[in-house]
Chain A
Amino acid sequence: MERIRIKDLVLSKSARRRIKKLEKTNPLAAARIKSWLYSFTKIEFNNKYLHKKFDIKKTRFCRRYVAHFANHAIFVYFDFKEQIMFVEDIVPA
């Protein structure tokens, strides 16, 4: 099974805004989400691992990987070729 390595992890402005807001209102959740996201850059993983961590939802734009973590839905898009993980949105859920 092919192994994936993420070289860069980037956040959208709205995701960054949400983390900034959480740092004030719920610092524990902010720290948990940041560490959780950061952990993806530290390991090599396969597709099976990815499917364990995320649900795949199809939207009118493209396929999104969604995780439910620390009472938030985290929307992620992967560019496997460039090895970049894009954090699109973090929404309370």
Chain B
Amino acid sequence: MNGLISFLTLLSWFKDRQPQKYENIKSLIKELVFSVKHISKELEELLADKNSAPIEIEILYNTLFNSDEESELISAINEFLKHIKELEMFSEKEIKQFEKVLKDFKITIALVANVYNNLKRGGRREYISINELWKESE
């Protein structure tokens, strides 16, 4: 993650020296963020398909969560958004578009966890009332 921050900071420095190349890199970053939309769509189709193999979902879960329930990818996306805002490389409108695309992507990643957990439990779950949770917290 630090590498990406250094790269983005270096890019700001590059701006005055090579304006045209700087603009090209900016377009590439934009294209990269928007391509995430297609990944989200593909993933959602896989998760909705009853015929998709559970092993495929398990591999996907392990790749995204790396055996830890907190996804490093999500932390990286949050850091990316934070720094891209600080560096003021993109307009407010573009940042809003990035936020929307990346928020949808983060939800899709969470959906992978949800489907994987359901597969692991065979769809069975035990529930408790929220009133009990309130009592426990008091």
Contacts and interface: CB of A to CB of B under 8 A. Distances in A.
Q: Do these two chains interact?
A: yes
B130 A9 contact: yes
Interface residues of B, number: 32
Interface SS, B side? helix
A92 B127 contact: no
B130 A37 contact: yes
Contacts of A16: 128, 133
B50 A60 contact: yes
Nearest to A55: B107
A89 B134 CA distance: 18
A68 interface: yes
A91 B50 contact: no
A29 interface: no
Given A55-B107, A61-B123, A88-B114, A23 B129 contact: no
B48 A91 contact: no
A73 B70 CA distance: 12
Interface of A: 8-14, 16, 19, 23, 34, 37-38, 41, 55, 57-61, 64, 66, 68, 71-73, 75, 86-89, 91-93
Interface of B: 44, 47-50, 52, 69-71, 74, 78, 103, 106-107, 109-111, 113-115, 117-118, 123, 125-130, 133-134, 137
27 contacts: A8-B129, A12-B126, A12-B127, A13-B126, A16-B128, A16-B133, A23-B137, A34-B133, A34-B137, A38-B130, A55-B107, A59-B48, A59-B115, A60-B50, A60-B52, A60-B115, A61-B118, A66-B111, A68-B103, A73-B106, A73-B114, A86-B127, A87-B130, A89-B114, A89-B117, A91-B113, A92-B74
